[in-house]
Amino acid sequence: METYADEIKQILREQKLFFASNETKSLTFRLEQLKKLKEEVKRREQDIIQALAQDLNKSELESYSTEIGILYEEINFTMKHLKKWAKPKRVRTALTHTGSKGSVIKEPYGTALIIAPWNYPFQLALSPLAGAIAAGNTAVVKPSELTPAVSLLIKEILQHIYPASYIAPVEGGVPTSQTLLEQDFDYIFFTGSVSVGKAVMEAAAKHLTPVTLELGGKSPVIVHEDANIALAAKRIVFGKFTNAGQTCIAPDYLLAHKKVKKELLRAIKETIIEFYGDMPLESSRYSKIVNDRHYGRICEYLNDGKVIFGGEKSDETLRIAPTLLDQPDPGSPVMTEEIFGPILPIVEYENLHEVIEFVNGRAKPLALYLFTKSRETESQIMSCISFGGGCVNDTLMHIATPYLPFGGVGESGMGSYHGKYSFDTFSHSKSVLKQTTAFDFSFRYPSAKNGLKLIRRLMK
């Protein structure tokens, strides 16, 4: 069993030394490294597209929009704003502190560990890395072993532009990941499943290392009676079947209002055919399931309800057609586990209270989508259900803007990133009070005459 323990320890020693040299803290250095990353990704763009096709049968459109382009945007945005973000911020001080100045200095944690999953294997490894670099950290990046072509490519890209004493890719599976987690990193950024997230947090507790956990769960999409049905159908099909449903924020199940369910299902079926054709298993626009294990797991869900559309599958190419599953048993695996595949169970409801009770009866979702024209419905859902993030009248798109923090809550994770939030995630906010030496209020000292009286007046 390969764990690369000695190599990992050596890398970490070297990274700690390099971090101590203070080189990573210069703004010019950080900007240069971000630029290098973008240039190298550009240079290898065709190889990335090929690797994603090999590992997941991703189409070029999907690869560019959800893996490569999104990373360019993240790097561009970061480079544009980094100077401002990194600048120490002056803050006000309290009346009791008259004469002093307060400031918040953003400092890098040090050595960061980034562990990535397989579903967006490129972007989910390198987008957090952009944040770690921007904040001035060194980093070890562990891509997912389940997408080996992309993992190898990430290694090649990083090794080509960075020394391991600054940014080091470490390839490997669970044992390697566990060995990494035993080390004394200064920050851990993990994207993956809830169960592994718990193991990550447990390992981090040993060194009291702060963590960001980007996890998963069951994200509902609610279509209310007043929704624009044609648009809802398009956007749900887009969100659910992109990457064959292997998206952490894909709508996991559909809550459809009784009055519009029939019309909605008809529109969803038409849209699936429009997007992927009559034979989705043959379509070059449609992804495959990552491996046999996940393929078998997802196929089992087909027994948990009534297949009213799709259901075709191919053991050879590991593809499962976009599938609609009506009347799922609420206690069955398809309704209790994260599906992470192209099966959409449909639950009918009559009023919003049912919806709120249903969603709140489960772990807090990573995402929630609501289709409605009513402000009142919107505000009722927003104020009654806790979830990581989401959209009204759309799916997935909240992840693609650097202005919104992306992350979960409760079982779907902790912490967030993207844009400035990535920079903040990988930075410690160091508070400094600079006191004046021009005068000295003596009322705080034990020898002060009317000290207590004055303090009582100031602090009441």
Binding site for ligand NAD (CB under 6 A): 115-119, 124, 142, 144-145, 173-174, 177-178, 181, 191-193, 196, 199, 214-216, 248, 338, 340, 366, 408, 413
Tell the smallest beta-carbon distance from residue 394 to ligand NAD (Å).
18
Question: Smaller CB distance to ligand NAD: residue 109 or 118?
Answer: 118
Tell the smallest beta-carbon distance from residue 125 to ligand NAD (Å).
9
Tell the smallest beta-carbon distance from residue 139 to ligand NAD (Å).
15
Sheet containing strand 89-91, strands side by side:
89-91, 101-108, 427-434
Q: What are φ and ψ of residue 57, in 5° steps?
A: 55, 35
Residue number, nearest CB to ligand NAD: 216
Question: Smaller CB distance to ligand NAD: residue 248 or 343?
Answer: 248
Question: Smaller CB distance to ligand NAD: residue 11 or 115?
Answer: 115
d(CA 297, CA 216): 17
Tell the smallest beta-carbon distance from residue 333 to ligand NAD (Å).
14
Return the CA Rg of the chain: 25
SS (H, E, C) the chain: CCCCHHHHHHHHHHHHHHHHCCHHHCHHHHHHHHHHHHHHHHHCHHHHHHHHHHHHCCCHHHHHHHHHHHHHHHHHHHHHHHHHHHCCEEECCCHHHCCCEEEEEEEECCEEEEECCCCCCCHHHHHHHHHHHHHCCEEEEECCCCCHHHHHHHHHHHHHHCCCCCEEECCCCHHHHHHHHHCCCCEEEEECCHHHHHHHHHHHHHHCCCEEEECCCCCEEEECCCCCHHHHHHHHHHHHHHHHHCCCCCCCEEEEECCCHHHHHHHHHHHHHHHHCCCHHHCCCCCCCCCHHHHHHHHHHCCCCEEEECCCEECCCCEECCEEEECCCCCCHHHHCCCCCCEEEEEEECCHHHHHHHHHCCCCCCEEEEECCCHHHHHHHHHHCCCCEEEECCCCHHHHCCCCCECCCHHHEECCECCHHHHHHCEEEEEEEECCCCCCCCCCCCCCCCHHHHHHHHCC
- The residues that bridge with 139 in the sheet, in sequence order, are 112, 167
Question: Smaller CB distance to ligand NAD: residue 256 or 396?
Answer: 396
- 299 is known as an active-site residue: no
Question: Smaller CB distance to ligand NAD: residue 267 or 320?
Answer: 320
Tell the smallest beta-carbon distance from residue 113 to ligand NAD (Å).
11
d(CA 280, CA 376): 39
Tell the smallest beta-carbon distance from residue 409 to ligand NAD (Å).
11
- Judge contact between 363 and 217, C-beta under 8 A: yes
Tell the smallest beta-carbon distance from residue 452 to ligand NAD (Å).
52
Tell the smallest beta-carbon distance from residue 114 to ligand NAD (Å).
10
- 312 is known as an active-site residue: no
Tell the smallest beta-carbon distance from residue 246 to ligand NAD (Å).
8
Other CB atoms within 10 A of residue 2 CB: 10
Q: Which amino acid is at 324?
A: L
> Annotated catalytic residue: which of 214, 225, 338, 411?
214
Question: Smaller CB distance to ligand NAD: residue 264 or 339?
Answer: 339
Question: Smaller CB distance to ligand NAD: residue 197 or 310?
Answer: 197
Question: Smaller CB distance to ligand NAD: residue 55 or 225?
Answer: 55
Two tokens, residue 204: 């981090």
> Annotated catalytic residue: which of 67, 74, 225, 248?
248
Question: Smaller CB distance to ligand NAD: residue 196 or 267?
Answer: 196
d(CA 15, CA 56): 33
Known catalytic residues are 214, 248
